Chains A and B, each alone.
Chain A
């Protein structure tokens, strides 16, 4: 088991290198000239010699592969480079990423508990009241776009009722950090949760139904054990494998893809940082944020492997 985990961990290193190489090369080959961000076009036109010297001193005339090596070396030493406006990227990431992680973690937690919970109950009481309501909500939750849910929630809870703030993560006049966090997180977390619960509920219900129809559930019943044991011990563990995959692969989508929600709620997360960087052509920032998302993706797929191995003995042996 340990060997299996170690092997999977080690495999992440070449994967990350390959991804960073592709992203670096891809971004540099889009024809962005960093000089254009540093110096105004008039100056470039007036002093071609000085510009050339600047290029030389910045290493921009070296082959791309050398520049990549230099960048990677810096990265490994903890220097994420500088945004084109001069701020260290490490600083941006250090302030923005925790906000996104916080938002994602709560959304994950609530949607997992609620979604899987309702899904399992719907499967056990198929065509029962929970199942019907759940199915209607699932269709609604999947069909209504997230930004609309967000705007609606803001309109109801922030504007009409005035219970929660409509934007930002921190109030300047906050006295209690916990209450402040709760107030600011509530609406965006709710918005994200609604969308994810819909997916997870459907998925958990269907896999659980499949499992409950399998022969070993009948075997379990033939032993005379109570129903809750049949459901939780024999059903749940087998049904959770595919649900876990869906859940895990939602994480990178949350971290990189909550752009819409971060925009709607003016939430200062990493997603909004990345979109801003893309629109302004700030490629060092795009590079780092892309790598962060790629790394989360890899970590999540690693966790899927580990969880699967924990849940299913058949996976352990193949490793």
Chain B
């Protein structure tokens, strides 16, 4: 696959936070590729590094974060021509190179629409801001037309009236549409959605997700969806990346991860999804224990203490990534015991850990 098919290529991303003069590794050796026009779901418990990974790529982290990677390559495709951007080589997180990408190339939909909009500006102006920034010479009237068009597309009723409202006059679902409008207005190729529906009620969740899916399918956008809602994953994703304590523990296509679930953590995650019609007396499963404090981690598998299949070997050293079949990778020593897709072949170690 060349850079035309891959929109984002991340290799060995490490993010370390400095807290009280101690270095704490939050994201460890994360590697993944996102195919152009596809949707990747990143799942895992709270605090497992999903958001930090994405914020590292977008360079939204504060000054106490150190981002290191062998490669964070974003391939922009415009008029059949590919321009490669090596994000890890860009020095200033908010310098001109990053800013040129934010908006027209990659954008982000944030988790909490309630706090993601500036309370003191009209929503229309907030959406138009990015548009005016990246299209020099565009007049305010033209921008307004574009914003209205986007509002219509996103199903905001009475756009002519609503465009001059302030965020506090909007409901949560409508605010999230505005946040999506901000992310979409410059027509980016890659949209990172950081738990876009967590703060919304269920009916609105479905509407928002439908909107995102439509954009991905119709407009050929690439989407990264951070979530812990397995239902959303099944509906939205082409590929799934399961993270635990800052590491990718399993990566594969939707079928790989859901039907040939390998890593004990993924299995546990899938078992703890509530389903309608749970039998009387049947309890919803939970994963025993809690996520450890990243500062206290010793070597070995991060999941060892909560894993039912843990052996001594698991605690000895960091676990490498094993390939089960093309595109399906798992970070577990028991990789040989897991079901393999037809025609697949267990290849063993594919990535060295550091």
Q: Which residues of A pack against B, CB within 8 Å? A: 126, 214-216, 218-227, 230, 234, 237-238, 311-314, 317
Contacts and interface: CB of A to CB of B under 8 A. Distances in A.
B139 to A, nearest CB: 18
B119 A223 contact: no
Contacts of A227: 94
Contact of B130 (A214, A215, A223, A230): A223
Given A216-B115, A224-B130, A224-B134, 5 more contacts: A214-B115, A220-B118, A221-B60, A222-B102, A223-B182
Interface of B: 58, 60, 63, 94, 98-104, 107-108, 110, 112, 115-120, 126, 129-130, 133-134, 166, 168, 179, 182-183, 186
A220 B103 CA distance: 10
A224 B115 contact: no
Q: Quick one: which of B60, B94, B120 has the most chain A CB within 10 A?
A: B120
A225 to B, nearest CB: 5
B60 A224 contact: no
Contacts of A230: 94
8 contacts: A216-B116, A216-B117, A219-B116, A221-B102, A222-B183, A224-B104, A225-B99, A314-B119
Given A219-B182, A313-B166, A225 B133 contact: yes
Contacts of A317: 168
Given A221-B102, A222-B58, A225-B130, A314 B115 contact: no
A224 B101 contact: yes
Contacts of A221: 60, 94, 102
A234 B58 CA distance: 20
Contacts of A224: 98-104, 130, 133-134, 186
B202 to A, nearest CB: 23
A55 B206 CA distance: 84
A218 B100 CA distance: 16
A218 B110 contact: yes
Prevailing SS type, chain A contact patch: helix
B60 A314 contact: no
Given A221-B60, A222-B182, A223-B103, A215 B166 contact: no
Q: Which 8 pairs between the two chains have the least Cβ-Cβ distance? A: A223-B130, A224-B102, A224-B103, A215-B115, A224-B99, A216-B118, A313-B166, A215-B116
Contacts of A314: 119, 166, 168
Nearest to A237: B120
Nearest to B128: A223
Contacts of A218: 60, 108, 110, 116
B224 to A, nearest CB: 14
Contact of B118 (A126, A226, A238): A238
B130 A312 contact: no
Contacts of B182: 219, 222-223
Contacts of B134: 224
A312 B60 contact: no
B119 A215 contact: no
Nearest to B62: A213
A313 B134 CA distance: 27
A223 B128 CA distance: 10
Given A215-B112, A314-B166, A223 B133 contact: yes
Contacts of A237: 120
Contacts of B133: 223-225
B29 to A, nearest CB: 26
Contacts of A126: 63
A234 B126 CA distance: 10
Nearest to A312: B120
Q: Quick one: which of A224, A237, A317 has the most chain B CB within 10 A?
A: A224
Given A237-B120, A238-B120, A222 B168 contact: no
Contacts of B186: 224
B116 A223 contact: no
B179 A312 contact: no
B45 to A, nearest CB: 22
B165 to A, nearest CB: 9
B112 to A, nearest CB: 6
A147 B183 CA distance: 55
A133 to B, nearest CB: 19
Contacts of A220: 118, 129
A221 B166 CA distance: 20
A218 B59 CA distance: 10
Nearest to A220: B118
A219 B104 CA distance: 14
Nearest to B98: A224
Contacts of B118: 216, 219-220, 234, 238
Nearest to B113: A215
Contacts of A238: 118-120
B293 to A, nearest CB: 22
A222 B108 contact: yes
Contacts of A225: 99, 129-130, 133
A237 B119 CA distance: 10
B57 to A, nearest CB: 12
Given A223-B133, A312-B119, A313-B168, A215 B102 contact: no
A78 B344 CA distance: 98
A220 B118 CA distance: 8
Contacts of A311: 120
A215 B130 CA distance: 16
Given A215-B110, A313-B166, A314-B168, A222 B103 contact: yes
